[in-house]
Amino acid sequence: MTGRALKERLIARIRAHGPITVADYMAACLADPEAGYYITRDPFGKKGDFTTAPEVSQMFGELIGAFCLQAYLDLGAPGAFQLVELGPGRGTLMADLLRMASLRPEFVHAASLSLVETSPALRKIQEKTLETAPLAPAFRDRFADIPDGPLILVANEFFDALPIHQYVKTVDGWRERMVGLAADGELCFGVGTSRLDDTDLPPAARTAPEGTILETQPAANAIAEEIGARLARHGGAALIIDYGYLKTATGDTLQALYRHTHDDVLAHPGEADLTAHVNFETLARAAQEGGATPMPPLEQGEFLLRLGLLERAGALGSGKSHSVQETIRDAVERLAAPDRMGTLFKVLALSGDGRALAPFDMPIRTQQGFTHRRGGENG
């Protein structure tokens, strides 16, 4: 099934049953069993639509491996635990993480590896990437399917792919933004009848002008709460990395990426990647309601520098050719510079027992030495 056919199916569905929510539209575009974006393809890399941090450099997964190893040791090096990745993409982060964590063989011996992945196409690629890894993955459809035991979980650019709802400020309150049909029969945005209870909103949202958009992420928050409950019950740590914002704010962050350029959100259902920025405030609150303790989030650049990005880059480049060193320098910049992925991407760590997790317990250190380019990167 092609994306064209998905668009026609969506149009037929709306014609028959009326407009659908932005969340339903997003879910259809990304996860339709026949034509969903992730279900049908490998979207990563130069030929795909976007490049994620693990695909930029092995250093990203290695440093996350160092985080996991420390979290494991802090747990008292249990004899068995669940190592979990949500939305592993091509499996690159896990391969790099395991290479680093293998420095302590007891980590690998104790770990049962689960990959939570819905896409059959990506499961195949993940299996291949991890062929020579010290652990064989078990594939799971949902986080809820992970067996009991202490948990160490990572998720990079997973939560941004979960469906969000949008609300529009109107004369009579916040009403849900819908995808319907224009007079010419094409997909268009409109406003529905469902309303948002605004008692929880920050004051700025309450005085926002008509037409302002506000997003909610019940799907993401529900998973964060499940993770939080699991951590509280069995112990462990979770690391959630994504682009997003630290405080609830208004604004339309729904975006489509099609062959490395921004696209009209409604233009290519199933063919373009569709994401929304993650609200880390409500995500952390949901995990806390589940029973876990969220650490104050860090920006990705700060997080990677604290874990030793510059030192790792130096070691990796030592004795190598000028061009290899140049590639490593460029990767450092892409991952950590404020105008690249360094500040837009946030890192949230959750602790099961409330103890601080390294490197979240260190004072903020300022970032220096980056050149400035215009615009940021988001995948």
Binding site for ligand SAH (CB under 6 A): 38, 44, 52, 54-55, 87-89, 93, 116-119, 122, 156-158, 161
Q: Which is nearer to ligand SAH, 95 or 328 (CB)?
A: 95
* Cβ-based nearer residue to ligand SAH, 72 or 143: 143
Q: How far is the CB of 39 from ligand SAH (least distance, A)?
A: 8
Shortest distance, position 303 Cβ to ligand SAH, whole Å: 15
By the 8 A CB rule, do 236 and 72 touch? no
Q: How far is the CB of 44 from ligand SAH (least distance, A)?
A: 6
Residue among 54 and 290 whose Cβ is closer to ligand SAH: 54
The smaller minimum CB distance to ligand SAH, of residues 10 and 335, is found at: 335
Residue closest to ligand SAH (Cβ): 87
Least distance in angstroms from the C-beta of 117 to ligand SAH: 5
- Min dist CB 127 to ligand SAH, Å, is 13
Amino acid residing at 325? Q
Mark residue 76 as left, alpha or beta (left: phi above 0; alpha: psi -120 to 50; beta: remaining): left
Q: What ranges in 209-342 are assigned the alpha helix state H? A: 218-234, 280-290, 300-306, 309-317, 322-336
Q: What is the rounded CA–CA span in Å between residue 252 and residue 179? A: 14
Count CB atoms within 10 A of the CB of residue 246.
14
> Before 54, cis peptide (omega within 30)?
no
Query: Which of 151, 110, 84, 140 is CA-nearest to residue 291?
Result: 151
Nearer to ligand SAH, 43 or 359 (CB): 43
Q: Least CB distance from residue 38 to ligand SAH, whole Å?
A: 4
Report how far residue 128's alpha carbon sits from residue 358's, in angstroms, rounded to the nearest whole number.
32
Between 208 and 227, name the residue whose CB sits nearer to ligand SAH.
227
DSSP assignments along 86-146, one per residue = ES-TTSHHHHHHHHHHTTSHHHHHHEEEEEE---HHHHHHHHHHTTTSSSPPEEESSGGGS
